[in-house]
């Protein structure tokens, strides 16, 4: 089932599993939770993964166009911050001296990143993505400087760029159906009802967390200010009030659309131009007194007077026709900051934050960025192999229904085997994607040698061969049984026919002949029976009659028989449809 493309937008037709192409199985997608990660002394929200032996927990955020993964040892924080506060800000601290599996990385084992990323010392270690998947000898950087991103991109970073080392390593090891990822950031509101963990899925997406229509577009490098190449066109931004009325922020705008870039780790919902869009927002919501925050949702707008906080929603409409509504409990949230003396996160509900960043003055012409709060209400799938992205409205749920996506952006229903979920991929990331594809066979061989030098078939292939042999044997036995049964019935039928013919020649006294079927005609039953009834006739003289006889004591008619259970009906199972 290929994508049904339109001139600029293609809808990803995720319909019946029965229509899915490709008989080959796919590796099970890798789901990594986005949650409040418990660090050494504090917590930070991000991708919950560990590095080293014993494992050191870290809260990663994905970054683009970063291809590598990097962490911090020294957090390069202000001298007024205690170490725990710096760990919270950075998403944890990796200590190479506390890992027995750490080693120095070879110079050709990782892709080089240019500015704006920090200079790094390059190491390898065991990288655990979730409880089932880990990468041994995985190359990563340890930052040697504060790279000046303030609170916009402060945390340890998982590179998901075009030449992503983690996607390449997993793909070369045969653990991904494609170099794709799907993301739902979760929910980050003020109370338990508006909070939820999210997830990053590698090699597919989470079908349980999408709803309604979706659209697929090509990644675009047309604007160098969009690091992710996820360029979208917003045709309307609408403020939805609790009383049911709505006002467009495009009222009075000279342009009928806004180009924007989706950056899934960006700390606010959107950087929005002051003139005219944010000015209209302020006017229609009562001109509140607004300031800035330097907290987790960096440089968002805070209400100086909590009673002035906006109580409605905001709806994005895109050129594809897709609309995404961000509810108020994700649009206006408590101001979240780091206590510099304890390292703990503090949520101040008396100082509500509007997760919009009004860009103005020297930044007024910047390309607007759509950040992670957008992915509290939208679901995003990016496939590097097809150079496309797909977007849905999110269905906030803790349920999980993973779907693999292949290198043609097709969903795959059949997973190779349950064994493929629990593996350790001893793979070194390819420094160049183009060369990694040509050397995939040698990489697979090297991986096999590192895990014991065996060239045996993978468990999924062994299981497939065993199932095929069993099915073939069962088919042959079934055909033999059908042949034997048919032959036996034919022989029995010939014996019964001969016996009936003999009885027809010499019927026993008073025994009627067996019934037989009339030739089929389209009779009207009433006419047939009235026309074929005959008047009673007198029997000829001498016709033998028999006297009635008394049945033997205890005789029952009809003879009793024990009840028998009917065979259960056979129900065909159907694979569920994609939403």
The CATH number given to whatever domain includes residue 273 is: 2.40.70
In a domain, 113, yes or no: yes
Buried b (16+ CB within 10 A) or exposed e, 45-57: bbbbbbbbeebbb
Query: What is the per-residue pLDDT for 116?
Result: 75
Q: Over 60: is that where the pLDDT of 232 sits?
A: yes
| Report for 105-114, 168-177, 253-262, 537-546: range of highest mean pLDDT | 168-177
Q: Over 80: is that where the pLDDT of 421 sits?
A: no
- Mean pLDDT, to the nearest integer, of 228-257? 92
Q: What confidence tens digit (pLDDT) does each residue in 274-311 have?
A: 999 999 999 999 999 999 999 999 999 999 999 999 99
Quote the pTM value: 0.72
In a domain, 530, yes or no: no
Residue length of the chain: 579
Domain check: are 290 and 415 in the same one?
no
Q: Over 50: is that where the pLDDT of 15 sits?
A: no
Domain check: are 163 and 36 in the same one?
yes
In a domain, 274, yes or no: yes
In angstroms, the CA 186 to CA 194 distance is 9
In a domain, 547, yes or no: no
* Structural domain total, the chain: 2
Where does the pLDDT of residue 485 fall: very low under 50, low under 70, confident under 90, or very high at 90 and above? low
Domain check: are 374 and 413 in the same one?
no
Query: What is the per-residue pLDDT for 479?
Result: 72
- Mean pLDDT, to the nearest integer, of 391-411? 97
Q: Over 60: is that where the pLDDT of 22 sits?
A: no
Classify residue 193 by its DSSP letter.
G
In a domain, 201, yes or no: no
Q: 137: domain range? A: 26-177+406-462
User: 548: Cβ–Cβ under 8 A, 6 or more apart, which residues?
Assistant: none
Domain check: are 31 and 165 in the same one?
yes
Supply the Cα-derived Rg of the chain in whole angstroms: 36
- Mean pLDDT, to the nearest integer, of 165-192? 96
- Mean pLDDT, to the nearest integer, of 191-201? 96
Where does the pLDDT of residue 8 fall: very low under 50, low under 70, confident under 90, or very high at 90 and above? very low
Domain check: are 58 and 164 in the same one?
yes
Query: What is the per-residue pLDDT for 385?
Result: 97
Tokens of 16: 């019946």
Domain check: are 277 and 323 in the same one?
yes
Query: What is the per-residue pLDDT for 117?
Result: 87
Cα→Cα distances 349→12, 176, 267, 329, Å: 40, 42, 18, 12
Domain check: are 229 and 140 in the same one?
no
Domain check: are 155 and 254 in the same one?
no
In a domain, 390, yes or no: no
The mean-pLDDT minimum among 100-104, 320-324, 429-433 falls in: 429-433
CATH number at residue 34: 2.40.70.10
The mean-pLDDT minimum among 306-310, 387-391, 546-550 falls in: 546-550
Query: What is the per-residue pLDDT for 109?
Result: 80
Domain check: are 137 and 257 in the same one?
no
Q: Over 70: is that where the pLDDT of 272 sits?
A: yes
Among 415, 441, 462, the domain-final residue is 462
- Mean pLDDT, to the nearest integer, of 147-169? 92
Among 415, 440, 462, the domain-final residue is 462
For every residue of 226-291, DSSP letters joined together read -TT--EEEEEEEEEE-TTS-EEETTTT-S-S-EEEEE-TT-SSSEEEEIIIIIHHHHHHTT---EE
The mean-pLDDT minimum among 207-211, 225-229, 242-246, 504-508 falls in: 504-508
Query: What is the per-residue pLDDT for 480?
Result: 74
Query: What is the per-residue pLDDT for 110?
Result: 80
Mean pLDDT of all residues belonging to the chain? 80
Q: Over 50: is that where the pLDDT of 566 sits?
A: no
Q: Over 70: is that where the pLDDT of 211 sits?
A: yes
- Mean pLDDT, to the nearest integer, of 357-371? 94
Domain check: are 365 and 453 in the same one?
no
Among 345, 380, 415, the domain-final residue is 380
The mean-pLDDT minimum among 74-83, 174-183, 349-358, 507-516 falls in: 507-516
Domain check: are 256 and 360 in the same one?
yes
**251-256 contacts: CB < 8 A, separation 24 or more?**
251/280, 252/276, 252/280, 253/277
Higher pLDDT, 4 or 481: 481
Where does the pLDDT of residue 463 fall: very low under 50, low under 70, confident under 90, or very high at 90 and above? low
In a domain, 191, yes or no: no
In a domain, 83, yes or no: yes
Query: What is the per-residue pLDDT for 550?
Result: 55
Cβ atoms within 10 Å of 207's Cβ, excluding its own: 23
Q: What confidence tens digit (pLDDT) does each residue in 35-49 have?
A: 999 998 899 999 999
Domain check: are 128 and 55 in the same one?
yes
């Amino acid at each position: 089932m290929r994508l049904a493309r339109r001139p600029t937008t293609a809808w990803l037709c995720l319909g019946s599993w029965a229509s899915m192409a490709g008989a080959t199985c796919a590796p099970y997608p890798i789901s990594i939770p986005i949650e409040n990660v418990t660090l050494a002394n504090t917590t930070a929200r991000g991708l919950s993964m560990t590095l080293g032996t014993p494992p050191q927990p870290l809260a990663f955020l994905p970054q683009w166009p970063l291809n590598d993964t990097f962490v911090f040892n020294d957090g390069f924080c202000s001298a007024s911050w205690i170490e725990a506060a710096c760990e919270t800000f950075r998403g944890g601290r990796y200590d190479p001296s506390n890992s027995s599996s750490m080693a120095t990385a070879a110079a050709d084992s990782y892709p080089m990143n240019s500015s704006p990323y920090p200079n790094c010392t390059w190491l390898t270690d065991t990288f655990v993505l979730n409880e089932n998947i880990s990468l041994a000898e995985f190359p990563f950087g340890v930052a040697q400087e504060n790279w000046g991103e303030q609170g916009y991109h402060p945390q340890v970073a998982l590179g998901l760029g075009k030449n992503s080392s983690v996607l390449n390593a997993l793909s070369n090891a045969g653990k991904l159906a494609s170099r794709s990822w799907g993301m739902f950031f979760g929910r980050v509101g003020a109370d338990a009802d508006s909070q939820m963990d999210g997830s990053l899925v590698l090699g597919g997406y989470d079908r349980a967390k999408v709803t309604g229509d979706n659209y697929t577009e090509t990644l675009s490098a047309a604007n160098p200010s969009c690091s992710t190449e996820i360029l979208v066109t917003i045709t309307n931004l609408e403020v939805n009030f609790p009383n049911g009325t709505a006002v467009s922020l495009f009222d009075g705008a000279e342009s009928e659309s806004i180009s924007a870039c989706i950056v899934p780790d960006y700390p606010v919902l959107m950087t929005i131009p002051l003139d005219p869009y944010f000015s209209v927002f302020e006017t229609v919501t009562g001109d509140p007194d607004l300031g800035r925050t330097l907290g987790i949702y960096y440089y968002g707008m805070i209400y100086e007077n909590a009673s002035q906080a906006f109580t409605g929603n905001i709806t994005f409409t895109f050129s594809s026709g897709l609309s995404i509504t961000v509810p108020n409990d994700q649009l206006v949230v408590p101001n979240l900051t780091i206590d510099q003396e304890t390292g703990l996160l503090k949520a101040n509900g008396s100082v509500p934050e509007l997760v919009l960043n009004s860009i103005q003055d020297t930044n007024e012409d910047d390309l607007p960025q759509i950040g992670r709060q957008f992915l509290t209400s939208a679901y995003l799938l990016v496939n590097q192999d097809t150079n496309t992205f797909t977007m849905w409205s999110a269905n906030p749920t803790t349920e999980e229904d993973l779907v693999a996506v292949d290198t043609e952006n097709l969903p795959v229903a059949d997973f190779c085997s349950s064994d493929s979920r629990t593996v350790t991929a001893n793979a070194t990331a390819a420094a160049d994607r183009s060369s990694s594809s040509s050397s995939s066979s040698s990489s697979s061989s090297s991986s096999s040698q590192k895990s014991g030098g065996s060239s045996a078939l993978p468990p999924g292939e062994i299981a497939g061969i065993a199932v095929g042999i069993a099915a073939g044997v069962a088919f042959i036995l079934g055909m033999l049984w059908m042949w034997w049964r048919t032959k036996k019935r034919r022989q029995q039928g010939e014996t019964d026919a001969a016996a009936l013919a003999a009885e027809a020649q010499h019927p026993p006294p008073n025994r009627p002949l067996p019934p037989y079927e009339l030739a089929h005609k389209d009779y009207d039953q009433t006419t047939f029976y009235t026309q074929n009834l005959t008047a009673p006739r007198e029997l000829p003289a001498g016709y033998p009659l028999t006297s009635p006889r008394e049945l033997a004591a205890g005789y029952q008619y009809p003879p009793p028989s024990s009840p028998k259970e009917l065979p259960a009906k056979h129900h065909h199972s159907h694979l569920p449809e994609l939403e």
